[in-house]
Every structure is written in C-alpha cells, then in structure tokens.
Homo-oligomer: A and B are copies of this chain.
C-alpha cells in the first residue's frame, strides 16, 4: 500500500513514468481510489516493474513489452522476438560503427588541413537535366549597382496581397502624389518597395515616390528609409515582373554566385512608365552580395 511517490522511490522510476505506464495499461496500480484518483501500489509490484525494466534494457518497446507480459506469449514466439531484436541491435551497431568511421575520417581530414566544405562533400555528384531558363529572360541585361540610402513616402500595405490589394493601392495613391511632392510626371521617381515575407506569409509594401524630407505627410501615408545597398538590377516588362523575381532568385543569383543581401527589394518605374501597357518597362532592384 504505497502511494505513487513512495513506490517511485522504492522502484527508482519517475512518477511521470509510472503514470504513463498506468495510462498505457502496462503497469496498473493495485488500487486507484475512485474519488481522489490516488494510485496505490504494493511492494510485490516492484517485481512486475523490474520485469518491464529488464525487457526495456534489452531494447524492447513498451508495446512489445506489453505483448510479452500480458498476452502470456508462447516460448517460440518469445524466442522469435528475442532473435528479431538481436538482429535489430546488430544493425544498430553496424550503423553506429559506420557513423563513427565517418567521423574519425573527417577528424583525420581536418587534422590534415581540410575545411568544412570538403568535409561535408559527398562523392557522387548527381548529374541532372539542364535548367530550362525562360527564353524571353535569357538575354536580360543585368547590372550591379550600388545606391546610397534614400527616403520614399507613399501608401503602405501589410498583408498577403489577397484580392490584389496592392494594384488597388496604386490606383488610390496615383492622384495624390501632389500631397507628398510635386513631380513633373506621374511615375517619375516612383518606387514599389517590398519588405521580407513574415512566417505567416504577409509582407510590407510601400507604393511611393522618392522625397527629400518627410515633413507635412498626410496621416494616412507613410515613409520608408531604404538603406545603402548593392543591387542587381533587372529591367523587365510589367507583364513579366512576377517571372523576373522568380528568375532572379532561383536562377540568376545561384548561377552567378550572388546571395540575397539584407534590405528590401523594390521596383523603379520612371516617367515613361504606363500601368495600362503590359509592355511598359520597369526595373527590379534586388539587394545582393557575393
């Protein structure tokens, strides 16, 4: 008649484990009080628990132990299980041994002066189909440019661009450039700036123009200071803008040895841009580093 804590001490098994075995049906307490829920064990159950632990030491899973102990398994079945387990253990030992050999090999290589890249290299390079680059993007002339920091102001959006809200925003902000500045032409110095995607898929986007100062900005507009950065610049048509981003990240950058650098990417439109013409040219700027 031991409470779970006493039994736990006596058998040197954690209380959590005993409750788990109870729940699994592997070792039920001799008596469970219907009203307090307290578990009571008897000393003789230490033997049962030791049986379980003995089988666990041999590497059996709790389910297997339950089968062995409860279903009063036959002797040939037990032998078969032991032999199966034996095979599994031999396999495990083989795996661990080969891992160990790998490690020792790498350690020796390190002592001989190799570096991480060589260490983790796998010998068999997989030969794969060539990349199918979109034809219309093949001849794209990409430039690398470093821009100083600059400030933009306009309308900000945070979300996943459901229902194409960003296009709607450009419609809305179009007639209001005068509230920020007085540009000579509608799309002169106009930028669409896009921050990094969050875990939930949302991102920040600002439709705006370059400004010198952010004073007297209407309350529903925002500004964004873009830091100095080195960019890869991709000229493209309005129609291909989506493909251009994809091409830039998934083809051009890996093949030319560039990596994405910190900082937002953006599109620059220019005074000749016409949102109604899908052939209209704009420029995609993506921060990169070698």
Contact = CB atoms under 8 A, between A and B. Distances in A.
Interface string A44-76: 111000110111011100000000100001010
A106 B58 CA distance: 10
Contacts of A35: 161, 242
A221 B247 CA distance: 77
A242 to B, nearest CB: 8
A216 interface: no
A104 interface: yes
A122 B53 contact: yes
Contacts of A255: 42, 44
Given A59-B99, A86-B107, A68 B116 contact: yes
Interface in A104-127: 104, 106-107, 110, 115-117, 119-122, 126
A89 B85 contact: no
Contacts of A245: 31
A30 interface: yes
Interface in A228-261: 242, 245-251, 253-255
A286 to B, nearest CB: 11
A102 B57 contact: yes
A90 interface: yes
Interface residues of A, number: 78
Contacts of A197: 32, 34
Interface of A: 1-2, 10-11, 29-35, 37, 40-46, 50-51, 53-55, 57-59, 68, 73, 75, 78-79, 82-83, 85-86, 89-90, 92-93, 96-97, 99-100, 102-104, 106-107, 110, 115-117, 119-122, 126, 128, 131-133, 160-161, 197, 201, 203, 242, 245-251, 253-255
20 contacts: A1-B132, A1-B250, A1-B251, A11-B126, A30-B249, A31-B245, A33-B246, A34-B197, A40-B249, A43-B254, A45-B254, A54-B120, A54-B121, A54-B122, A55-B120, A58-B102, A68-B116, A79-B107, A86-B103, A89-B100
The 8 A-B pairs with the shortest beta carbon distances in the complex, nearest first, are A31-B249, A51-B120, A42-B254, A31-B250, A40-B250, A30-B250, A44-B254, A54-B120
